[in-house]
C-alpha cells in the first residue's frame, strides 16, 4: 500500500519526485546553478576567477585544476556555502562554457534571499569577466533558488 501511495504522490508532484530521487541535497539545502558563456579561452577565465576569489575576503580557495575551481564562502550570518566553477572549452578552445554551483551547508538557509546566486554572480562581476566578449549568463528559479529575490551587494 505504501508503495502505491508513493507512486500516486509522485504522479501528482512529478517535479518534486524527480528532484527527490535525483539529488537529495538539493531539496534540503539552498543551492544555485548558473551557466556563463564567454568568448575567451578557459585558461584566462580560470585565472580571472582564482584572482578574484583570492581578492575577496569572504571566500576560501580550495582545490584548483584547469577544469574545476572549488572554494567556500562565509556569508555574514555565519553560514558557509560550497562554491564550484567548472570550465569546459567550447569549439576550438576559443570560448569557454562555465558552470557555477553554490550550495548552502545548512537546511535552514533554504530560503536564502539569493545568497547562493550572489556567491557566484559577485565573483564573475568582480573579476571583470562580465565585460568579456560574448558574455552571457543563464539561470532561473528552478536552477537557482532565490534568484528572483536576489539583490547582490
Ligand atoms: C564541487 O565539485 C565536487 C567534485 O566534483 C563535488 O563533490 C561537490 O559536490 C561540488 N560542490 C558544489 C557546490 O557543486
Ligand atoms: C531574507 O530577507 C528578509 C528581509 O530582509 C530577512 O528578514 C530574512 O532574515 C532574510 N533571510 C535570510 C536567510 O537571510
% of the chain beyond a pLDDT of 90: 56
Residue range 86-116, pLDDT digits in tens: 999 997 778 999 999 999 876 555 566 788 9
**Any ligand 2 atom below 6 A from CB of 112:** yes
Ligand nearest to the CA of 73: 1
Residues in the chain: 153
Of 30, 15, 27, residue with least CA distance to 120 = 30
Q: Specify the pTM.
A: 0.79
Q: Which architecture characterizes domain 29-149 according to CATH?
A: 2-Layer Sandwich (3.30)
Nearest ligand (C-alpha, residue 70): 1
Ligand 1 centre distance from Cα of residue 84 (Å):
6
Amino acid at each position: 500500500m505504501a508503495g502505491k501511495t508513493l507512486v500516486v504522490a509522485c504522479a501528482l508532484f512529478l517535479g518534486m519526485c524527480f528532484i527527490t530521487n535525483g539529488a537529495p541535497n538539493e531539496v534540503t539545502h539552498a543551492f544555485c546553478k548558473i551557466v556563463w558563456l564567454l568568448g575567451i579561452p578557459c585558461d584566462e577565465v580560470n585565472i580571472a576567477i582564482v584572482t578574484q576569489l583570492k581578492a575577496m575576503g569572504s571566500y576560501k580557495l580550495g582545490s584548483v585544476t584547469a577544469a574545476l575551481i572549488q572554494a567556500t564562502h562565509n556569508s555574514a550570518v555565519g553560514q558557509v556555502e560550497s562554491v564550484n566553477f567548472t570550465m569546459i572549452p567550447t569549439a576550438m578552445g576559443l570560448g569557454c562554457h562555465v558552470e557555477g554551483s553554490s550550495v548552502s551547508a545548512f537546511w535552514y538557509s533554504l530560503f536564502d534571499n539569493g545568497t547562493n546566486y550572489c556567491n557566484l554572480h559577485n565573483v564573475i562581476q568582480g573579476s571583470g569577466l562580465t565585460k568579456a566578449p560574448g558574455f552571457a549568463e543563464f539561470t532561473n528559479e528552478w536552477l537557482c533558488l532565490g534568484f528572483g529575490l536576489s539583490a547582490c551587494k
